A and B are shown apart, each in its own frame.
Chain A
Amino acid sequence: MTPLLTVDHLVMRFGGITAIDGLSLQVPHGAITAIIGPNGAGKTTLFNCLTGFYRPSAGRILLHEDDGSERDLTRLKGHRIAREARIVRTFQNIRLFGGMTVLENLLVAQHQALARASRFALAGLLHTPGYRRAEREAIELARRWLAELGLTAFADTPAGALPYGTQRRVEIARALCARPRLLCLDEPAAGLNPRESAELKALLTALRDAHGLTLLFIEHDMSVVMNVSDHVVVMNFGRKIAEGPPEAVRRDPEVIRAYLGEEDEEAADA
């Protein structure tokens, strides 16, 4: 498998805390990779480094372009990662534009294309055919993802007024509208009920199989991880402690220790 992304000896420190401690991993192309690990393992921090929110203290994050060249993302600033590297993410604590409708949320995700078509708002102000076409196309893309995620009925509802599970789906739809090459989901199953969680599994596999997307997701819900992922990376204390196919990882003694070890401590505390 060719990797899409290589994380190379990544270190992220906050003052005295080393949240990521020399982490290396590869995200295979066109596959679903899961990142698991106990609370505070540094999973979200890894996402924040990948998507340019944090500047890593050391290490490299290499994106392998289709033409074989590679690009170091740690040099790229915040918004340019979504724009140029097309790595788009969702957040552990949902971050929708709550006062705006679902459709508007999805259009903001296509800001790049729309803004270009509106030429510093001039073409937009004049309502030129070129801009109108771009807007129609953007709405069409949004409509397709809304339909695919079963959100069409909510299109004109303010995102903040939707139930939690639906908001999670809207956030994924919004990320998809940004036409990602790598989609990073931070605990997409958190707070979902069993039915929603089953739908999520179907969605993730469909994104890989029907749309050819590369997915990277953080998850605590083992049933989702075991069912959909092709590759699992286990983190603890900012390090990678295991990786491999789900079945292998599940039996890995180190992983069992990391998880059971926690339970031991909890048992001791009780």
Chain B
Amino acid sequence: MGYALQQLINGLSLGAMYGLIAIGYTMVYGIIGMINFAHGEIYMIGAFLSVLTYVLCTALGVGPTPLVLLAMLFASITFTALYGWAVERIAYRPLRGAPRLAPLISAIGMSIFLQNYVQLTQGARIKSVPPLWQGGVTLWSADDFRVTFGWAQLTVVLVTLIVMAGFAWMITRTAFGRQQRACEQDPKMAALLGIDVDRTISLTFIIGAALAAVAGVMTVLQYGVIDFSIGFIAGIKAFTAAVLGGIGSVPGAMLGGLLIGFVEAFWSAYLSPEYKDVATFSILVLVLLFRPTGLLGKPDVEKV
């Protein structure tokens, strides 16, 4: 019982991260109808930037922990968003209207490039930083087992909630949100109505990257260990989350992220940690097989 509760907490904080990354997949898919294959690497870049900022802050003696966290978020979001923007400009925009395979290959190329770029410039070794916060609240304890909600985990969940709330507000209440939804429904019509479709697509990539950057910061906060290859598996899992929730649906991405987080936590705890990636991947195949529209997605009729 206590053990299960602990897994629930672990799954929650893990799922929050997958959800944040999954939103980037889902938004980009919604607007250009393509998977952003480089998105996992964008998340990895966000994580590297936050390690860099963390180490810089320590070196410069920046004091209280919340300030460090804010600095990490700020630096990581800024630069990662720039990377997200560049990915769109370089790998996607020149290929509007090209044969359908072209943008996929170009995005794969971009992903390979980014991964190796980080490996070559920052080294292949694991980067690990000391935890920002130690300890946590003990929720439940018995004999020799304690269920704790670590401060880091709590921060992850809180920050995710705040970011999600801000994001939801932006999508539903701002001009950008309206334009974004208009472009999703019908880009030609949106253009006729005076919406700058290119700009909206750029902004979508930027926002997706910013959310992935937050996920990167959360990873550093929670685990403190990253390397250049983390984007690969995290990308596949977050994509699974997006498909599970229903690709194109933002709440779906968050829901899918949580579910994947829980599955992974429980699978690792009760079955076999080595095969946790296999488990998520099987979910992807099963969802595609039996319910390609996901949990919250709309049925997608191919336009002829």
Contact = CB atoms under 8 A, between A and B. Distances in A.
Interface residues of A, number: 7
Contacts, number: 9
A54 B298 CA distance: 16
A14 B298 CA distance: 11
B302 interface: yes
B298 A48 contact: no
B298 A53 contact: no
Interface string B278-304: 000000000000000000001001101
B302 A15 contact: no
A15 B293 CA distance: 14
Contacts of A237: none
Contact of B304 (A14, A15, A48): A48
The majority secondary structure among interface residues of chain B is: loop
A91 B301 contact: no
Interface string A6-25: 00000000110000000000
A7 B298 CA distance: 28
B175 to A, nearest CB: 24
B304 A91 contact: yes
Interface residues of B, number: 4
Contacts of B302: 53
Interface in B122-174: none
Contacts of A15: 298
A15 B300 CA distance: 10
Interface in B245-304: 298, 301-302, 304
A48 B301 CA distance: 11
A207 B302 CA distance: 31
Nearest to A15: B298
A15 B304 CA distance: 17
A14 B300 CA distance: 10
A268 B304 CA distance: 33
A237 B283 CA distance: 42
A53 B302 CA distance: 8
A253 to B, nearest CB: 33
Contacts of B298: 15
Nearest to B299: A15
A53 B303 CA distance: 9
Interface in A159-179: none
A53 B304 CA distance: 8
Interface string B189-210: 0000000000000000000000
B293 to A, nearest CB: 13
Nearest to B298: A15
Nearest to A186: B304
Contacts of A14: 301
Nearest to B302: A53
A14 B304 CA distance: 13
A48 to B, nearest CB: 5
Interface of A: 14-15, 44, 48, 53-54, 91
Interface of B: 298, 301-302, 304
Given A14-B301, A54-B301, 7 more contacts: A15-B298, A44-B304, A48-B304, A53-B302, A53-B304, A54-B304, A91-B304
**CB-based closest 7 A-B pairs:** A53-B304, A48-B304, A14-B301, A54-B301, A15-B298, A91-B304, A53-B302
9 contacts: A14-B301, A15-B298, A44-B304, A48-B304, A53-B302, A53-B304, A54-B301, A54-B304, A91-B304
